Amino acid sequence: MKAIVAMSGGVDSSVAAYLLQKQGYEVIGVSFELWDKRDLQDSNVCCSVETIRLAKSVADKLKIKHYSVDVRDTFYTKVVEEFCEAYITGITPNPCILCNKHIKFSFLLEKADQLGADIVATGHYARTSSDKQRFLLKKGPDPKKDQSYVLYVMKQEELARTVFPLGEMKKEETRKIALDLGLATALRAESQEICFVGDDKYENFIKGYSDKSLHPGPIIDIKGNKIGSHKGLAFYTIGQRKGLGIQSLEPRYVADIDRNNNTIVVGSRTDAMRITFKVKELNWIAVESLAHPVRATVKIRSTMKEVPATVSPEPDETVSVELDEPQWAPAPGQSAVFYNEDTVMGGGIIF
């Protein structure tokens, strides 16, 4: 059987390719050309020029075929533009989720069909299974590395043909395998930056994308008093404390972004807490749809632990979420992902 492995030039995807090869698959590596910025050489940025070279060196080491697929046009319109436009309107997007939704799995499966491959794989720390009715996405057992949050956008047809070889492993085990094999990616650091921004600040990237981002407006307090001016909604997010440019004896945080009036609202830390919010653009995995309120745990950012909540369907194909306890700064544009123990029920975009 043939397996297509998305090779980003990192240690995780490198070991994923090796493990499938060890299981007897004919493995083919695929790297995506995502970005026109040819001078982006940083080896700690996903899918940079340098990381594609690293992926090719790993493929050569494993004696497997390797292809580079040009997805730059789709990546620009579906990820880069959406990322920038969201920030300009005061919304905080997650580009990794946009990439998984629009790029990674659809293009992997397209390449798999071209090459006659049975399955596709990535180096994510997550698991799949099925309950005879639906294909399921489950958390990786290592809470420090579980990546199910960024995968909630996967469709049933994608889950049916995707495997995650590292799903049962811990990062230390993965790195040891790479070291033992002498792979060039063995000691590569975790990729922390937005792949198309690199080491630059995202604010500078957005400024270069459009002058629309430089649209000043008022900063007001919770009572509506003007206490300062902002540079543009693109440079602020719910919960932000630094860079507000206002004088205060007490810590001030962005408590709300009034997009209709181009206004930043600041308050205390408590003012940035929320107990209810709504979620749209839903993708359900464990169920076809939500017919009635359910108890679940919800994660509202990739680095947080999920917390108990009641999730209720609304007539407009959204859901309302009522948390058991207030949580810090759910930001419009970020994703809320719902879990039933270790199984991803589904998720969507906070608004």
Q: Is residue 195 among the annotated active site residues?
A: yes
Q: What percent of the chain has pLDDT over 90?
A: 86
pLDDT attached to residue 44: 52
Please answer whether residues 318 and 280 qualify as being in contact, where contact means their C-beta atoms are separated by less than 8 angstroms: yes
CA nearest to 60, candidates 31, 32, 40, 34: 31
| Both structure tokens of 333 | 């544009």
SS3 88: helix
- Given a cut of 50, whether residue 39 has pLDDT beyond it is no
pLDDT attached to residue 37: 54
Mean predicted lDDT score pLDDT of the chain: 94
pLDDT attached to residue 45: 56
* 46, 84, 96, 195: the active-site residue: 195
Strand 162-163 relative to strand 217-221, pairing: unpaired
**Most distant CA pair in the chain: distance in Å?**
67
pLDDT tens-place string over residues 10-32: 999 999 999 999 999 999 999 99
- Given a cut of 70, whether residue 90 has pLDDT beyond it is yes
* 46, 84, 96, 99: the active-site residue: 99
pTM value?
0.93
More confident residue, 45 or 224: 224
pLDDT tens-place string over residues 303-319: 899 999 999 999 999 99
pLDDT attached to residue 299: 98
- The alpha carbon dihedral of 97, 100, 102, 103 has a sign of positive
- Given a cut of 80, whether residue 46 has pLDDT beyond it is no
pLDDT tens-place string over residues 188-246: 887 766 888 866 688 899 999 999 999 999 999 999 999 999 999 999 999 999 999 99
pLDDT tens-place string over residues 292-301: 999 999 999 9
pLDDT attached to residue 221: 97
More confident residue, 46 or 232: 232
pLDDT attached to residue 196: 83
Please answer whether residues 174 and 166 qualify as being in contact, where contact means their C-beta atoms are separated by less than 8 angstroms: yes
| Both structure tokens of 277 | 């919010």
Beginning with the edge strand found earlier in the chain, give each strand of the sheet holding 263-267 in spatial order: 226-230, 217-221, 263-267, 253-258
Residue ranges and CATH numbers for the domains of the chain are: 2-123+165-181 (3.40.50.620), 215-268 (2.30.30.280), 272-350 (2.40.30.10)
- Given a cut of 60, whether residue 55 has pLDDT beyond it is yes
